[in-house]
Amino acid sequence: HCFNDVRYIEDNQRVIGGSEVARNSWPWQISLQYLSGGSWYHTCGGSLIRANRVLTAAHCVDTVTSYRVVVGDHNIYQNDGTEQYISVSRIVQHANWNRNNVAAGYDIAVLHLASSAALNSYVQLANLPADGAVLAHNYACIITGWGKTSNNGSVASVLQQAPLPVVAHATCSTGSYWGSTVKSTMVCAGGDGVRSGCQGDSGGPLNCPVNGVYQVHGVTSFVAAAGCNTYLKPTVFTRVSAYIGWINANI
């Protein structure tokens, strides 16, 4: 999945430079899985925003296939005893999403689930930011996902997290960073050349603490084709606060 210098990070790749999370410490994180040859495979992350709605990236659900969402998961390769498996009944991608032009933005989708998840200590709803909220440069956020833990690695079995400071749009849109590829409807984070999102993290959350509560400020969208943790190429997220109206209209 390459577009010029942009690479999506779904399929089977993950957080680089991260660490295993404490069990179910991110209870709104979901695993989006697709059916192939009778087996289910992790392809993307997502955030549970209603008991029967998931926020993810549009590029995660471009392929016509059967999808399911796993909530309450920790290790995607074993039974933790806390999982709930729910099929996706309807996919709502942003009408302006163009899979051939990820740089235009709109990499956002809401998944309708066939049934509601039972909320408990392992399964909680994500908090979304205020409409239009923009975080300051170097704001401390955390990416979570089951993506690859190295550029050529395999998917993580246990959910990973890594600190990714926000890179302000004014900086991220300069030539030494992402230039005009990054729009104001996106949020950049990371770029230290060590920690980043990677394939398998797409659609998942950029979690940022606001007033003591984590909010999902980003939906993981793309990284540099040269490598997930490329210096001065921060992980790029759909900025959730730019789409609050769209989310509310399509939920």
Residue type present at position 81: G
Residues, the chain, total? 251
Q: How far apart are CA 237 and CA 107, in angstroms?
A: 9
- If one counts every other C-beta atom within 10 angstroms of the C-beta of residue 223, the result is 30
80 catalytic residue (yes or no): no
Residues whose CB is less than 8 angstroms from the CB of residue 212 and which lie 6 or more positions away in sequence, other chains included: none
State CA 163 to chain mean position distance.
Answer: 14
Active-site residue 202, yes or no?
yes
Distance CA 145, CA 16 (A): 10
Which distant-in-sequence residues (6+ apart) come within 8 Å of 175 by Cβ?
Answer: none
Select which of 42, 47, 73, 107 is catalytic.
Answer: 107
Active-site entry in 31, 196, 202, 221: 202
Q: One of 11, 31, 42, 59 is an active-site residue; which one?
A: 59
The answer to whether residue 47 is catalytic is no
Name the nearest CA neighbour of 49 among 127, 114, 106.
127
Which sign, positive or negative, has the C-alpha torsion 3, 160, 186, 93? positive
99-103: list long-range contacts, CB under 8 Å, 24+ apart: 99/58, 99/59, 99/62, 100/3, 101/3, 102/3, 102/6, 102/8, 102/59, 102/221, 102/222, 103/3, 103/4, 103/6, 103/180, 103/181, 103/182, 103/183
Q: Which residues are catalytic?
A: 59, 107, 202
